[in-house]
Amino acid sequence: MLKTRIAVLVSGGGTNLQAIIDAQRAGQIKSGSIELVISNKAGAYALERAANAGIETSVITRKECGGQENFEKEIIRTLEEHDIDLIVLAGFLSILSGDFTSRYPERIINVHPSLIPSFCGKGYYGLKVHEEALKYGVKVTGATVHFVNEIPDGGRIIAQKAVYILPDDTPETLQRRVMEQAEWVILPEAVETVSAEIALARQESQ
């Protein structure tokens, strides 16, 4: 069976990218193969992680493209050039338009550091998610992997994992624990699940 060709879109350090790379190396992701990493920020450490793993990289910035429309066109061109089947957003801090997401129905997945529908949507990313969870006083948080559509964090949920909040948690300690106990666990699992579904659908249609 042909493997699902994966592109990972990143903006920063690439810890979630590393979790996927490690899962692929360990044989946990066997139905898909990371073929490309695209960053919307030059100098993102995620690019170094990709290079170290022998994965091709590309930097596409909104500024250099002269706006959102051309930025998305260039991403699409690059994805098509590499015959990409599945797009994984791993800390990609750029909202993609409905025009973009509608091209790839249930072919884009994202990991979000809360249990959707809590603490999600426009403006909820990074430490802010954990700050709000602590401010609200919830006892349980976690991470969600979901399909991406035109609504920020609005696509169908694929997987969730809960993480208990500790009395002395800070946004930083909570962020780290959610990554380690939830994001790095369910993201590779979801990548394998969706990759297997795409590969099987392709085989059945031949």
Average pLDDT of the chain is 96
131-161 burial by CB neighbour count: b if 16+ within 10 A, else e?
bbbeeeeeeebbbbbbbbbeebbebeebbbb
| Token pair listed for 81 | 């050039």
Nearest residue to 34 via CA among 14, 6, 2, 4? 6
Which position among 82, 112, 130, 146 bears the catalytic label? 112
Q: What is the CATH number of the domain that holds 117?
A: 3.40.50.170
Report the domain count for the chain. 1
Task: Give the residue numbers spanning the domain of 11.
Answer: 4-205
Told to judge if 146 belongs to the known catalytic residues of this protein, a careful annotator would answer no
126-184 pLDDT, tens digit per residue, is 899 999 999 999 999 999 999 999 998 999 999 999 999 999 999 999 999 999 999 99
